[in-house]
Structure 1
Amino acid sequence: MATRVLLLMALTLYIFPIATATFHVKGSVYCDTCRAGFETNATFYIRGARVGIQCKERKTMKVAFYSEGVTDSTGTYHIEVENDHRDNICECLLVKSPIKWCSTPDSGRDKSSIVLTHYQNGIVNHLHYANAMGYLRDEPLPECHKLLKYYLADSDV
């Protein structure tokens, strides 16, 4: 009998997760040293970059949640988000680069959408990964010409 009760409680929590879930968002921030628009062998990850997570209400687009974090020595950030944000549109955003010569956000790689809900989506993990976001170096490195030529060697372009 006790086993059935425990099984029923576990099933109920799986179907109706607790609304005060804590999500752990993980992602990285890089410096695009070749201004290629993507990560290359010359890319490095930025320590001390500030990243924000912003959730907006779907109907009014008012900010419902905002929090910031900082990247570690590997350029990785970990930000905790309290509560389920099922009625919100959430994204990770670049806030500030600590490197003056690599501080222009790369358009298209300056934010990353993130789902912060368990409601009817089949996601049960509390760890959510965001796409890598990047800044552009002011001037590309001299060796980038060869590197980009190498990347395009197998291209149909």
Structure 2
Amino acid sequence: MLEFTDHHERKVTFDPNSAEDADHVLGICKMDGKYLFTEHKVRGIEFPGGKLEDGETLREALQREVFEETGASLAELKYMGAYTVHGTQPFKKGVYFGIVDDLFFKCEYMETYGPVVYPSIEAVPEEKRSFLLDDPCIHYIYEISRTDGFFS
């Protein structure tokens, strides 16, 4: 298990050996060799994800969240582990790498402005970035996506 500190000075851990159990999901997804992000209406550009709904598996929740926030359907999913934020109200995100199968135009993207695609986190303009893209744990997971060969 790896340990980090987030922008609120909370302990954050990433456990690649964690079982697929969590109450949130996060998707690091690629489409045509680039990363798929969503532009949250308040936070800015970040990776898609969100909370599980009653009766959903983590995989179903991620498929739904990615579609709601970007219009994308995912062809492949690979579970990478659990990202846990420790604090007064701790929460755990199941983290997946995904390959986009198709991208559909939608009239409504829930709490986001829809999909945006960049070749890397570094290519996202600083003034549009969500603080989550600078989270050291999320950045670590992103770096794994660049080096582990899953997306080749």
- TM-score normalised by L of structure 1: 0.28
Structure ranking higher in helix proportion: 2
Structure ranking higher in strand proportion: 2
- TM-score normalised by L of structure 2: 0.29
